[in-house]
Structure 1
Amino acid sequence: MNIRQDDPAAPHVSGLLAFHLEELRGVMGEHAFALDASGLSSPDVTFWTAWREDELAGFAALKHLGAGLGEVKSMRAAPSARGSGVGRALMDHVIAEARQRGYRELYLETGTAPLHEPAIGLYRRSGFVNCAAFADYQPSPHNQFMVLAL
């Protein structure tokens, strides 16, 4: 698998990103905080894609929160790549980058619906634990918050 920094507005990303946003908004409504291409293109966000040969297998992003803190944003495995280890590879990549940047903590926000269970399992296996809402997030029955001490 090849993971590379990429442009979230690139045509090869648009289909998977649209699927990601539509699925989350369908389950979480106004509590879906996933970023679109313009949000993922922000200067404080780094975006990567994962590839298996010439097939887009997934993407992930890391947002700089300031003061030694980061946030995992918009992790997604392509439907054809689920269960293949792409999520683990992307998570390992984001954690390694956060450590390289000297972050002390890495946060994430995710949902509570059954759709999120595989991702939540990955986050827990990576060492994330539940925490209070962070940054500008507000708690709701549709969201949960996690942190990894680096």
Structure 2
Amino acid sequence: MDALKLSFRIDPVVAPTCDVVDLITRHADMMQAQTPSESCHVMSADELFAAGAQVFALRDGDEMLGIAALKPLEATHGELKSMHTRVEARGRGVGSALVKRIVLEASHLGLTRISLETGSEAPFAAARRLYQREGFRYCAPFADYVDDPLSVFMTRTV
């Protein structure tokens, strides 16, 4: 697996390019297909950028394999949003590399905490395991979220 990671690069996305919009749209479509609308908190590319989120794209050469965003919530608190790895790239360390980059960026911004919302059902189990491996722990709803049996909330210090 380490040899595969050598060509990864993670770049900040300053504008919603076609490949970024495509992957965020794939992510949104998948989330909306798995979760009822009242419990689905996915954001479009336009919504992410309008909210001031910093979006990062992980590429292997010219191929984009994953995305993640860091959305500001408060002066010292950010939210991990839109984490998505292309299906064909899963198991290659893409998600872990993106989470590490988000944590690094949060540190550079002076944030002390990152939180996230993800699904509570079986299709989200791998994501929850990834977040736990990366230091996230379960917590109460944060920001504007409310208790929802289809959501879990996680947080970690930076």
TM-score using structure 2 length: 0.90
Q: Please report how far the alpha carbon of residue 67 of structure 1 lies from its aligned counterpart in structure 2 after TM superposition.
A: 2.7
- 1:36 equivalent in structure 2: 44
Cα 1:29–1:124 shift into 2, 3 Å:
same
- 2:5 equivalent in structure 1: none
* Aligned partners of 1:130 and 1:147 also within 8 Å: yes
The letter for the 2-side match of 1:26 is A
* Aligned partners of 1:68 and 1:102 also within 8 Å: yes
Deviates more, 1:7-16 or 1:82-91: 7-16
Distance 1:9 1:101 in 2: 22
- 1:137 equivalent in structure 2: 145
Distance 1:28 1:147 in 2: 21
- 1:49 equivalent in structure 2: 57
Match of 1:20 among 27, 38, 49: 27
Deviates more, 1:53-62 or 1:14-23: 14-23
Distance 1:12 1:131 in 2: 33
Q: Please report how far the alpha carbon of residue 46 of structure 1 lies from its aligned counterpart in structure 2 after TM superposition.
A: 0.4
1:67 paired to 2:79: no
* Aligned partners of 2:25 and 2:45 also within 8 Å: no
RMSD of aligned C-alpha atoms? 1.2
* Aligned partners of 1:27 and 1:113 also within 8 Å: no
1:95 paired to 2:103: yes
Q: Please report how far the alpha carbon of residue 28 of structure 1 lies from its aligned counterpart in structure 2 after TM superposition.
A: 1.0
* Aligned partners of 2:85 and 2:95 also within 8 Å: yes
Tell me which stretches of 4 or more aligned residues in structure 1 moved more than 6 Å: none
Deviates more, 1:27-36 or 1:9-18: 9-18
TM-score using structure 1 length: 0.95
* Aligned partners of 2:117 and 2:154 also within 8 Å: yes
1:85 paired to 2:93: yes
Cα 1:8–1:79 shift into 2, 3 Å:
farther
Q: Please report how far the alpha carbon of residue 9 of structure 1 lies from its aligned counterpart in structure 2 after TM superposition.
A: 2.7
Question: Residue deviations 1:54-107, cap 9 Å, x none?
Answer: 111000000111131111010000111101001010000000111111111110
Q: Please report how far the alpha carbon of residue 27 of structure 1 lies from its aligned counterpart in structure 2 after TM superposition.
A: 1.1
Count of aligned pairs between the two proteins: 150
1:126 paired to 2:134: yes
